[in-house]
Amino acid sequence: MTSHVTDETLTEKNNTTPIDLPRIERAVREILTAVGDDPDRDGLLETPGRVARMYAELFQGLHEDPRQYLKKFFVEQYDEVVLVRDISFNSMCEHHLLPFMGKAHIGYLPDGKVIGLSKLARVVEVVSRRPQVQERMTETIANLLLEELNAKGVAVVVEATHSCMTIRGVRKPGSLCVTSAMKGLFRSNLSTRSEIMQLIYGSQR
């Protein structure tokens, strides 16, 4: 029987499950042997250790809670759109363990509370460093902001290139996946939704 791992269960595991570097190294040696190479040859001797350290870095978000960056806010009587565009990120597709990378656009409608702009980038950084699909990443960021800021509306648009589509399988370089999560007024009010999309894309800039 398989269990469904949600972002909530991942958060519960934060800071409780260390990265097991020696286990990753052993697994990498097994993979190298399984594909027909010799893990003991000069060029591969240090590869298992490098890969283990790489995974520890790429999956750091499994053991860090992005909510920590949303705890400090400022009380401001501002109720128009706040938008940060083009937040770059790198993440890992959970289906093939190949990277997808791109940029996130985050907008919200404050309800008396605003957050430091750099904190939005911090949230993207933490959430992106997990094995996942782009759709879940987009929803996770939007839900975090909606819950922690109690905003009137949250809009998250993520654009990414997936190496599982460009270097294997269908092999279509240049393809772009776009996902969006609209919450609150951005979902219920068409004019508000149109405003944020215009601010993000303009006339395709």
- CB 59, CB 92: distance < 8 Å: yes
**Residue from 64, 93, 132, 195 carrying the catalytic annotation:** 93
**Residue 63 annotated as catalytic:** no
CA–chain centroid gap for 114, Å, is 22
**Residue from 60, 159, 164, 177 carrying the catalytic annotation:** 164
**Residue 125 annotated as catalytic:** no
**Residue from 46, 68, 76, 95 carrying the catalytic annotation:** 95
**Residue 12 annotated as catalytic:** no
Report the alpha-carbon distance of residue 174 to residue 108 in Å, rounded.
30
**Residue from 94, 135, 147, 198 carrying the catalytic annotation:** 94
- CB 157, CB 139: distance < 8 Å: no
**Residue from 105, 132, 148, 162 carrying the catalytic annotation:** 162
**Residue 4 annotated as catalytic:** no
**Residue from 60, 96, 159, 177 carrying the catalytic annotation:** 96
Residue 32's CB: how many other CB atoms inside 10 A? Answer: 18
| Helices 21-34 and 47-58, packing angle to 10 deg | 120
The closest alpha carbon to 64, from 115, 99, 14, belongs to 14
CA–chain centroid gap for 82, Å, is 20
**Residue from 63, 134, 139, 195 carrying the catalytic annotation:** 134
Active site residues: 93-96, 134, 162, 164
